[in-house]
Structure 1
Amino acid sequence: MSESTKQNDFPTRRTLLTGATLGAAALAAEAVPRRSFATAKERQSVSLADPVKAYPSAPFHQSLQSWPGLQSKMHPTPDCGEKSYIGSGRLKGRHALITGGDSGIGRAVAIAFAREGADVAINYLPQEESDAKEVIALIKKEGRKAIALPGDLRDEKFCQRLAADAQTQLGGLDCLVNNAGYQHFEDDLLNLTTDQIDQTFKTNVYALLWLTKAAVALMKPGSSIVNTTSVQAYRPSAGLVDYAATKAAISAMTRSLGKQLVPRGIRVNAVAPGPFWTPLETTGAQPADVVSTFGSDIPYKRPGQPVEIVPLYVTLASAESSYATAQIWESTGGMA
């Protein structure tokens, strides 16, 4: 796929609800007017398309970026649902805090939640301000409250303030999406530094625990927490030793917290992505030669786009999944 491939060339997509179970949410390609909410008639009329051919495949002409990277500098631009996600009010009246909400999967979650009726606060690093401003504008366009809360999650005190600030400025906090993550490829254990291990674990594990602890103290029964783990948790790559370990920890914490928080009426689940086209992959998460062929070694022969996984987050966050907790749902393009 050439550099000229643009997001506007991608087909319009939306979610189709077929029941409140694991198979309840499906993503279907559909030609509908570009607006945030589908009509009942449109929800009943689904035009099928081959998902394998729905989005770009390798080779990608993408230069590596310095961490944390910007979505606006990616070629092709990831589809986070800016013009393709159609909501249907499934999170009406909810108040959500999303970490890593400026780009990639977190951006897609923020857009989808707003179009499903939620007020949304996003956390991101100050270096990602330009991407974050776009997300804030998209949330406001839906008539929802949009709160920008930049800061470094590796600071425990900041995590405590973040939860409190989100609750105060949103007028409540009943959904937390722990999505922010750090990943850096290193295929030689002897070169894996303590600094890298520390950054990976503090970003992916410590921050999740700190923020979840602060949020739970503010949440009421019926609230939900959705974590982003990874298929790396149980199918680890040789060059991602520290990252895979953190994702295994997130999976275990999800199952443990999902049980522990039942008496509080708070559900905890996780989504495990396979290869998805996000800024993370362009900032050292993969070697340069892997970035150019990213996703070509799985059955779909392409990476996923953030909008393709976001229905899982919507479903897990919504009251439709009231009986689901301590579960991990995958979206992997056929990886087994």
Structure 2
Amino acid sequence: MTDNAEMIHEDGLPGHESQLEPKPEWQPRYSGSGRLAGKVAIITGADSGIGRAVAALYAREGADIAIVYILEDDDAAETKRIVESEGRRAITIKADVGSRKMCSRIVEETLTAFGKVDILVNNAGEQHPDKEITDITEEQLLRTFQTNIFGMFYMVQAVRPHLKSGAAIVNCTSVTMYKGSRELLDYSSTKGAITAFTRSLSENLIEHGIRVNAVAPGPIWTPLNPCGGASEEKLATFGEDTPIGRPGQPNEVAPSFLFLACEDASYMTGQVLHPNGGIIVNG
């Protein structure tokens, strides 16, 4: 684990998974088949929620994992334990993806530990609910964009020289990009940017044999929402407005990240998968 040399500011988000009840379900739902054997993946926001579930599934499929997180040391240590319990190697890197300098360090430490990078999962993100657009402070607006979309640019810029043909990038966008969110104006805006970034980057890198895709989860039970990322009113019925009628679990989203990272998706780039409980979106 690496200590930050710079001050990290975060308003209690994404929160500790270890303190959340009920606990999110991260456990892979099936036996591995070696689809990522010998691969190395960097996963941002991998200490909890969707990131932890992706790390667990990738490890089961044979990948070594660089676990990038911002605050929750205990959650990151638990994700590391989970990866190692699958027989794979793991390192934890405490860093803010909103800093270009730290993103370069993330890649450097991954290369030092594992010698290469095959997969980048841009999953880290933050959200802050506001009922009125006038309630969004300049600091919050800048911070949300810095983490959610600037961080993806910084991570790709840092890792790009080390990605070879056959590598994959998987970005985390959101159902809010497609249907909007009245309380998450800045967050949903960044998710729109992420989708456009995914489509554009896929065209930019395809001639180099690097695929770029995204996953757009619906309401998923992770620390992000109950620890301040959603209003109390929204939490009271969280996920109930989906056709399935409940929030999803992280291990119901992770298979989308696996599919896009492995050779099963060799003919897919610039695309978005939608594990969202049955919400119909176009795109």
Larger helix share, 1 or 2 = 2
Asked if 1:155 corresponds to 2:83, the answer is no
Post-superposition shift, 1:75? 1.3
1:147 touches 1:170 (CA, 8 Å); kept in 2?
no
Counterpart position of 1:272: 216
> Larger Cα Rg: Structure 1 or Structure 2?
1
- Distance in 2 separating the partners of 1:136 and 1:88: 21
Counterpart position of 2:160: 216
Counterpart position of 1:246: 190
Q: 1:335 to 1:90 in 2, by over 3 A?
A: same
Counterpart position of 2:8: none
- Within-5 A mapping of 1:80-95: 80-81=26-27, 84-95=29-40
Q: Deviations over 1:281-315 (max 9, x none)?
A: 11222111221321111111100000011111111
Q: Deviations over 1:50-78 (max 9, x none)?
A: xxxxxxxxxxxxxxx93230111111100
Counterpart position of 1:111: 56
Q: TM-score w.r.t. structure 1 length?
A: 0.78
- Within-5 A mapping of 1:112-261: 112-125=57-70, 127-261=71-205
- Distance in 1 separating the partners of 2:226 and 2:153: 27
- Runs of at least 4 residues off by over 3 Å: none
The gaps in structure 2 that reach 5 residues or longer are 1-10
- Distance in 2 separating the partners of 1:290 and 1:86: 35
Asked if 1:96 corresponds to 2:41, the answer is yes
1:85 touches 1:307 (CA, 8 Å); kept in 2?
no
- Within-5 A mapping of 1:58-73: 66-73=12-19
Post-superposition shift, 1:85? 4.5
The gaps in structure 1 that reach 5 residues or longer are 1-64
Aligned residue type for 2:144: T
Q: 1:185 to 1:214 in 2, by over 3 A?
A: same
- Distance in 2 separating the partners of 1:165 and 1:108: 22
The size of the alignment, in residue pairs, is 270
2:44 touches 2:124 (CA, 8 Å); kept in 1?
yes
Aligned residue type for 2:31: I
Helix, strand or coil: the match of 1:270?
strand
- Within-5 A mapping of 1:279-290: 279-290=223-234
Post-superposition shift, 1:217? 1.2
